[in-house]
Amino acid sequence: MPVETKTTCPYCGVGCGVVATVAEDGGVSVRGDPDHPSNYGRLCSKGSALAETIDLDGRILHPEIGGRQASWDEALDLVAGKFAAAIKEYGPDSVAFYVSGQLLTEDYYVANKLMKGFVGSANIDTNSRLCMSSSVAGHRRAFGADTVPGTYEDLELADLVVLAGSNLAWCHPVLYQRLAAAKAKRPGMKVVVIDPRRTMTADIADLHLAIRPDGDVALFAGLFSHLVAGDAVDQNYIAAHTSGFADAFLAAGRLSFAEVLERTGLPAMQLREFYRLFAETEKVVTCYSQGVNQSSSGTDKVNAILNCHLATGRIGRPGMGPFSLTGQPNAMGGREVGGLANMLAAHMALENADDRDRVQRFWRAPAVAQKPGLKAVDLFKAVGEGRIKALWIMATNPVVSMPDADAVAEALEACPFVAVSDVLGKTDTTRYAHVLLPSLGWGEKDGTVTNSERRISRQRAFLAAPGQARADWWQLAEVARRMGFADAFAYAAPADVFSEHAALSAFENDGRRDFDIGAHAGLARAAYEVLDPFQWPQPAGREPAESRFFGTGGFYHADGKARLVAVAPAETDRTDAAYPFTLNTGRIRDQWHTMTRTGKSARLSSHIAEPFAELHPRDAMEIGVGNAGLVEIESPQGRAVVRALITERQARGSIFAPMHWNDQFAARARIDAVVPAITDPFSGQPASKNVAVAARRFAAR
Ligand code: SF4
């Protein structure tokens, strides 16, 4: 008899439910889970091709040390020994973990606990730093905690949906399908897309604002002024639930309309139409994604958006609110357990002494980290400078995905000890590993993930673990045991980790922490097996309340009020005569991250088969490159060679190139080798959307 298992898609932050069926002959098929409240049976092209990506081709099936097969004992002893030796000689901050939004919450929890509670350093950061950390920083500034106020349903209930820096159609396809279906049913519903490119998402837009790169702070500060001037703000909400209005208004008011036009590059008619729509529509949702976050002013952009929703009181009510879209399947789960170098666990703050004390007592930990650790870009710089003596990379491929990717490769080459846990044996990153640890892949591992709307769902195993591959949480717990922390890491199953994580979320909760899933503390393994998707919070002893926040205030700053943040646009045009184009990196519809899984599916690769760069026809003509000709893109950091795709969807002077391809495909295919490590000052998120580059027809050297 075929066996069906309910699980969750491992790709984007929509977090779709999947039913995986294993036939009697072992063949696997997938379909959307009709009962999952995030997708109601829908899947996108990537999700529906999952069964094509789970073969064992390229898998690492046993631990390796220096390229030779090793036993788990030998490999784990070596990892624990190297970390312990570095800590003893150079101190806790000489070691680091670089983890991933691909990890399950249970993996993340154990990694964070080991590093922050038992090593005593906060040097654990994640590739989610590259995807949504500006939203985290913006939420914390405005709300006092990292909370997404709304739900997916709000997009369907809104009369105006603003998509800022989001190619929803390709990057969150099932949410796009839900939005498009709602718009088809309700012709009065409007969609505004704010994006320098005319993407597929813009095809359903009533208004596409082809904004200048990084014009968003000016756009939303101008909107804030317009709302105040037109008496379109909610004075009662502002007075009762916010502070900082005067300063925010003063800062926004310094921008004249002419300056907003100049900084955004938009026609006055379009700008006025957007401002009118926002001012006159009560039910507004503003979704924002990498186009907002991946910027040197990403946090200010987020707060400029939040200011407009807070000033109108359009937050936390049906069809209203700002909505940060997470890129990865478990970017949100990582945030919940403190998987960022500047967070603690359960939404507690590393800089708060009471929070540190609370976590230390709960974990019975010897030495909770006292200060934030190194964020991703700084972490790899520290590796390159020799300050990190032992590094453990889990479930990510930074030699392809980090900015200044060649420098990351050089740093790993020079690092005294690098351990990599992965499913594949040969990636651009594993070649620098002294120890390779075989991890479980999708369909083999068990745990939970949290999607963009705070919904926690189970990923369940329906395939046997291949070879000697083991779960990441198990690898971490075994290393912890070898470092002398056996009692604190005595987990026998992911359910044990989840139960502890739920208990910590409720531990001495004084009402400040909205991430409270105490109802699941002490969850039995059998109950964990059948756990249905649910949204946080779920405190013990209380029926789940409406899953929206802040409709009637209740923010997490000490005075219970939200902060309106004074923001001013910074100059971000980085082009000059030598580097006259602005490069914007992103994703395509049918590939995921560095293609280690989606690259296995011929069907997915047939969508776009090669690395490419989109150029405006006149720019292509000026540099003498024809369609499908090779174009070389160069910055002071490095260069990449890709196919030219000539299209009027691209604005003049700008280039779009996807971040997926790696050097396994072709030499110089990694676009992140071109991207410099410029970051947002608050979040540390790299600015991957606004890179000054030169472009020329490629001539072999
Ligand atoms: Fe998976 Fe995202 Fe597609 Fe849903 S929308 S099937 S979560 S990739």
CATH of the domain at 105: 3.40.50.740
Q: Is the pLDDT of residue 614 over 90?
A: yes
Q: Both 137 and 104 in a single domain? A: no
Q: Given the CA of residue 9, which atom of ligand 1 is nearest to it? A: 1
Whether residue 174 has its Cβ less than 6 Å from ligand 1: yes
159 CA to centre of ligand 1 in angstroms: 25
Q: Both 210 and 340 in a single domain? A: no
> pLDDT (tens digit, 9 = 90+) per residue, 230-269?
999 999 999 999 999 999 999 999 999 999 999 999 999 9
The answer to whether residues 395 and 414 touch, using CB atoms and an 8 Å cutoff, is no
Q: Is the pLDDT of residue 544 over 70?
A: no
Q: Both 196 and 298 in a single domain? A: yes
Looking at every residue in the chain, the average pLDDT score rounds to 94
36: phi then psi, degrees, rounded to nearest 5: -80, 125
Domain membership of residue 504 (yes or no) is no
Whether residue 15 has its Cβ less than 6 Å from ligand 1: yes
167 CA to centre of ligand 1 in angstroms: 14
Q: Both 211 and 75 in a single domain? A: no
pLDDT attached to residue 545: 65
Q: Choose the final residue of a domain: 442, 459, 491.
A: 491
Q: Both 98 and 222 in a single domain? A: no
Q: What is the CB neighbour count within 10 angstroms for residue 669?
A: 19
Listed in sequence order, the DSSP H helices in 167-244 are: 168-171, 173-185, 216-229, 235-241
pLDDT attached to residue 604: 87
Contacts of 59 (CB under 8 A, 6+ apart): 423, 424, 425, 438, 441, 466, 467, 469
pLDDT attached to residue 301: 98
Whether residue 327 has its Cβ less than 6 Å from ligand 1: no
> pLDDT (tens digit, 9 = 90+) per residue, 574-585?
999 999 999 999
Domain membership of residue 30 (yes or no) is no
pLDDT attached to residue 595: 81
Q: How far is CA 195 from CA 199, 423, 538, 573, 646, in A?
A: 8, 35, 37, 16, 18
- 342: Cα separation from own chain's centroid: 15
Domain membership of residue 573 (yes or no) is no
CA separation for the pair 436, 58 (Å, rounded):
14
> pLDDT (tens digit, 9 = 90+) per residue, 311-336?
999 999 999 999 999 877 787 777 88
Q: Choose the final residue of a domain: 325, 358, 389.
A: 325
The pLDDT-based confidence of 98 (bands split at 50, 70, 90) is: very high
Domain membership of residue 302 (yes or no) is yes
Report which protein residue has its CA nearest ligand 1's atom 6: 47
Q: Both 417 and 441 in a single domain? A: yes
Pick from 39, 452, 455, 660 the residue to mutate for probing ligand 1's pocket: most ligand atoms within 8 Å of its CB. 39
The answer to whether residues 249 and 193 touch, using CB atoms and an 8 Å cutoff, is no
Beta strands in 41-178 (DSSP E): 64-65, 68-69, 95-99, 124-126, 160-164
Strands 17-22 vs 68-69: parallel, antiparallel or unpaired: unpaired
Domain membership of residue 572 (yes or no) is no
Q: Given the CA of residue 39, which atom of ligand 1 is nearest to it? A: 4
Whether residue 46 has its Cβ less than 6 Å from ligand 1: yes
The pLDDT-based confidence of 550 (bands split at 50, 70, 90) is: very high
pLDDT attached to residue 513: 64
6 CA to centre of ligand 1 in angstroms: 15
CATH code, domain with 627 = 2.40.40.20
Domain membership of residue 502 (yes or no) is no
Contacts of 330 (CB under 8 A, 6+ apart): 101, 102, 103, 104, 105, 108, 449, 450
ipTM confidence score: 1.00
> Mean per-residue pLDDT for 169-186?
96
Q: Both 203 and 352 in a single domain? A: no
Q: Choose the final residue of a domain: 441, 471, 491.
A: 491
Whether residue 14 has its Cβ less than 6 Å from ligand 1: yes
273 CA to centre of ligand 1 in angstroms: 33
**Which residue did the predictor score with more confidence, 400 or 567?**
567
Q: Both 261 and 363 in a single domain? A: no
CATH code, domain with 277 = 3.40.228.10
> Mean per-residue pLDDT for 95-116?
96
* Domain with 224 in it: 133-325
Count: domains in the chain: 3
pLDDT attached to residue 429: 96
- DSSP 8-class letter at 114: I
Q: Both 157 and 224 in a single domain? A: yes
14 CA to centre of ligand 1 in angstroms: 6
pTM over 0.90? The answer is yes
The pLDDT-based confidence of 532 (bands split at 50, 70, 90) is: very high
Cis ω for the linkage preceding 187 (within 30 of 0) = no
156 CA to centre of ligand 1 in angstroms: 18
Domain membership of residue 523 (yes or no) is no
Pick from 7, 8, 9 the residue to mutate for probing ligand 1's pocket: most ligand atoms within 8 Å of its CB. 9
pLDDT attached to residue 665: 73
Report which protein residue has its CA nearest ligand 1's atom 2: 12
Percent of the chain with pLDDT over 90: 84
Q: Given the CA of residue 43, which atom of ligand 1 is nearest to it? A: 6
Report which protein residue has its CA nearest ligand 1's atom 4: 16
Q: Both 177 and 321 in a single domain? A: yes
Whether residue 169 has its Cβ less than 6 Å from ligand 1: no
The answer to whether residues 503 and 522 touch, using CB atoms and an 8 Å cutoff, is yes
Q: Both 281 and 365 in a single domain? A: no
Q: Both 638 and 685 in a single domain? A: yes
pLDDT attached to residue 510: 65
Q: Is the pLDDT of residue 339 over 90?
A: no
12 CA to centre of ligand 1 in angstroms: 5
Domain membership of residue 585 (yes or no) is yes
3-class SS of residue 101: coil
169 CA to centre of ligand 1 in angstroms: 11
> Mean per-residue pLDDT for 162-174?
96
How much of the chain is helix, strand and coil, in % rounded to 5? 35, 20, 45
pLDDT attached to residue 546: 65
